[in-house]
Structure 1
Amino acid sequence: MLSTSTLPQLQAALRDAKLDGWLVYDFRGLNPVAAGVLGIRGMVTRRIFAWIPAEGTPQAIQHAIEPGPWAQWPAAWPAHVYSAWRDLEALLPTLVKGKRIAMEYAAGDAVPVVDRVPAGVIELVRAAGAEIVSSGELVTQFFAVWTEAETQSHREHAELLRGFAHAAFARVGAAIAAGTPIHEHEVMAWLQQQFAAHGLFTDHGPNVSASENAANPHYEPSAQHARRIVKGDVLLIDLWATKQQPGGMWADQTYMAVVGEPTPKQREVWAAIRDARDAAIALLSTKLAAGESVQGREADAAARAVIVERGYGQYFTHRTGHSIDARGLHGMGPNLDDLETRDERRLIQGVGFSIEPGIYIPGEFGMRTEVNAYVSPTGLVVTPVEYQRELVII
């Protein structure tokens, strides 16, 4: 959060990027960066801005009827108060005219997760005389980097999820061996019970999907559409959770099994996604260990090349990985993506993300292998410590 103690680091980053400042905007929570970086709390029903210059003192623009959200704003920093739109439009040029500034904007919507400022506001600020560039790299550095407590929390949650997934596979095996019917939604409910028993939170899921349902990456099982798990099924378990407390950090993993002896095609698809995952891990590990700059899209390309070479490229229909940060499972840091978006942001120390190539063959089955990773001072760290190497046979 921006404060007198964190300001020097942020201003140094602005100077390094050859920026005159960062203009942070919000209206009705459209831009989560405003809350995360500025410490804004409470209702924001009118337009607000914060000007963070590369040199000098930050300045706030707040509406007359809503001083409350600015309680954390240092008293020594100016806070301009407006009521009328004429006053707002007269004030903006005094801060940004003739300056090269960052905002939560992505040209051509290249990176939607940081494209948070409406086009009309962009027009307003440009009319005030500013040149606007994307704040994407700043968002990575000052919004998405994990703290030490968050890193430790993630590692703990990752090991818990790994244990839950393998225990779930064992339950399925025991039920089938005993001739007891077991359905996707029942396994999901059991996993939810494990989450609750360990104080973990998830907003929905987990995803337990068999064969043709696993070919839908965002499938959700339900009792209303019960699907029994039977011999011959491919079984996908995707589970994600965190603890809702300061320092809590998400973990997100996917595991694959087959009930009975896998077919040659099932083994082939598993090998393709596993090798694609490992290609992404190898590329990131090598570059980061050497101290080289690397973008998430490079890992996406490495993983995708393996699946294309194996003949399944048309069935890998999503990015290789998404950012994970304290504000959400799908965070605002750099993604491992050169398919869905043009994400050219660097993977800097402290950012975390998933690595999850998948192959989804409609009407047959889908497979995905998912681990998480973060950039430590010494390079890439993959979680959980022991991640899936071979297809589980139930």
Structure 2
Amino acid sequence: MYPVSRLAAVQEATAKAGIDALLLTPGPDLRYVSGYEAKPLERLTCLVVPASGEPYMMVPRLELPAAQASPASRLGLEFVAWDETDDPYAVVAARLGRVGKVGLADRMWAMSSLRFREVLPDAEQVLAGTVLSELRMRKSPAEVAALRAAGEAIDAAHRRVPEFLRAGRTEREVGRDIAEAILASGHASVDFVIVASGPNGASPHHDVSDRVIQAGEPVVVDIGGQLPNGYCSDSTRTYSVGEPPAEFAAYYEVLRQAQDAACAAVRPGVSCESVDAAARDIITEAGYGDYFVHRTGHGIGIEVHEEPYIVSGNDAPLEPGFAFSVEPGIYLPGRHGARIEDIVVCTDGGVERLNNTPRDLVVV
């Protein structure tokens, strides 16, 4: 999943962007380039990718065995171990010499970015994402396969949700069971579990609470995790504990049509914003436009949210290998809400859905 060719592509793109070096500290950028899921510590771990010359990894000596045991060891990198009395930032600055522009990992801690500013006072700091996002958006066949496996795993968890949902249980109790199902499906970790019943369903990023689920209530269940290979899942289905209110059933059908239309709109060359519009126009024409309060989708890979973003104003054309969510929602404050979310991949011929559990309302 982390071939030497990826590091070479990053180095080439760095030079093309006019950046003298990327400085990648623990987080998704480092993991994408090297495969090393380093612990975020106050001690500096940093992959230095110069536009020309050999990349190397600055590592605290006590973390050296972990770095050497990671996939980064297969990249032919030099591991530069530093001791407790060393200044690793000064070491990086000395090795880089005079540079005009450096790219900092998008998730770099402020304490590290400010230290790099001190030791490289003449260097302009930019986001490494200006280089890496263009690469990360274009998923390789191996990455698509990893996301496909993630989709199958989270589908397996969703298929078990009807076992757990019933009147009289709290959202927290249901969420605990779902989290166990996510791990049982093959995930290495649980990233989030949203169980939003009744009026909580009108809050798109509700978590779980001690609210007791009532008969006749819709419940939005949005769940995701990370597989052992680092690739993420994310899927939302909306359930109802018994027959839902007629008002809810009516707009749920609008939502289902909107989600289908947005998925059908995906193909190479189509803009991100046009996929958003495919869903939003249907919801707006039905009178619910004010209740669709977020973008239609986000990219996914080694992060749950990454580029491309499926939102009005993003005229970037889709390309084969782009993977992202399609998740329109309708949220009526104080009453209830609904969302349907699939991860899709733009293919040479159109679109592949990576989630395949039923999208019709599931009444339990």
TM-score normalised per structure 1: 0.69
How far is the alpha carbon of 1:168 from its aligned partner? 4.2
Question: Cα deviation per residue 1:50-98 (whole Å; 9 max; x = unaligned)?
Answer: 442444432455668875565346667595979348945852762633x
- Check if 1:382 corresponds to 2:358: no
How many Å apart are 1:344 and its aligned residue? Answer: 7.4
- The alignment status of 1:250 with 2:233, answered yes or no, reads yes
Q: 1:229 aligns with which of 214, 217, 231?
A: 214
Equivalent residue, structure 1, for 2:306: 332
Query: d(CA) in 2 for partners of 1:37 and 1:299?
Result: 30
Work out the number of aligned pairs and report it: 353
Partner of 1:107 in structure 2?
none
Q: 2:276 aligns with which of 300, 304, 308?
A: 300
**Identity percentage over the alignment?**
23
Partners of 1:43 and 1:260 in 2: CA distance:
47
The answer on whether the counterparts of 1:153 and 1:247 sit within 8 Å (CA) in structure 2 is no
1:70 and 1:336 mapped to 2: Cα distance?
36
Distance 2:190 2:333 in 1: 27
- Go from structure 1 to structure 2 and tell me whether the alpha carbon gap of 1:380 and 1:124 turns closer, same or farther (over 3 Å shift): farther
For 1:130 and 1:393, how far apart are their aligned partners in 2? 56
Output aligned runs, 1:16-165, within 5 Å: 17-26=16-25, 29=26, 31-40=27-36, 41=38, 44-60=41-57, 71=68, 72=72, 83-84=86-87, 87-88=90-91, 91=94, 94=97, 96-97=99-100, 102-104=103-105, 114=106, 116=108, 118=110, 120=114, 123-124=117-118, 127-130=121-124, 132=126, 135-136=129-130, 138-139=132-133, 141-142=135-136, 145=139, 147=143, 149-165=145-161
CA distance in 2, matches of 1:155, 1:65: 37
Cross-structure match for 1:318: 294
2:200 to 213, 218, 228: 213
The 1:47/1:78 distance shift into structure 2, 3 A limit, reads: closer
Tell me the distance in 1 between the aligned counterparts of 2:12 and 2:42: 32
The answer for unaligned runs of 5 or more in structure 1 is 105-113, 176-180
3-state SS of 1:275 partner: helix
Q: CA shift at 1:205, angstroms? A: 6.1
Distance 1:133 1:204 in 2: 25
Give the structure with the higher percent strand. 2
Q: What is the letter of the counterpart of residue 96 of structure 1? A: V
Within 2, Cα distance between the matches of 1:78 and 1:322?
Answer: 35
Looking at structure 1, the residues matched to 89 and 362 of structure 2 have their Cα atoms a distance apart, in angstroms, of 65
Q: Assess, with a 3 A threshold, how the Cα gap between structure 1 residues 266 and 325 changes in structure 2: closer, same or farther.
A: same
CA offset at residue 235 of structure 1? Answer: 3.1
Gap change, CA 1:270 and 1:138, over 3 Å in 2: same
SS in 2 for 1:238: strand
Mapped to 1, the partners of 2:180 and 2:44 lie a distance apart of: 43
Q: Counterparts of 2:350 and 2:76 in 1: how far apart (Å)?
A: 40
Tell me, in whole angstroms, the C-alpha distance in 2 between the residues paired with 1:200 and 1:70: 23
Deviation string for 1:152-186 (max 9, x for gaps)?
41242244244224x449x74xx8xxxxx555455
Q: Distance in 2 between matches of 1:348 and 1:129?
A: 34
Aligned mates of 1:95, 1:275 — CA distance in 2: 57
Query: Is the CA contact (8 Å cut-off) linking 2:197 and 2:218 kept in structure 1?
Result: yes
- Normalized against structure 2, the TM-score is what? 0.74
Looking at structure 2, the residues matched to 65 and 205 of structure 1 have their Cα atoms a distance apart, in angstroms, of 32
SS in 2 for 1:284: coil
Q: Do the aligned residues in 1 keep the contact of 2:255 with 2:328 (CA within 8 Å)?
A: yes
State the alpha-carbon separation in 2 of the partners of residues 350 and 125 from structure 1: 39
Specify the alignment match of 1:109 in structure 2: none
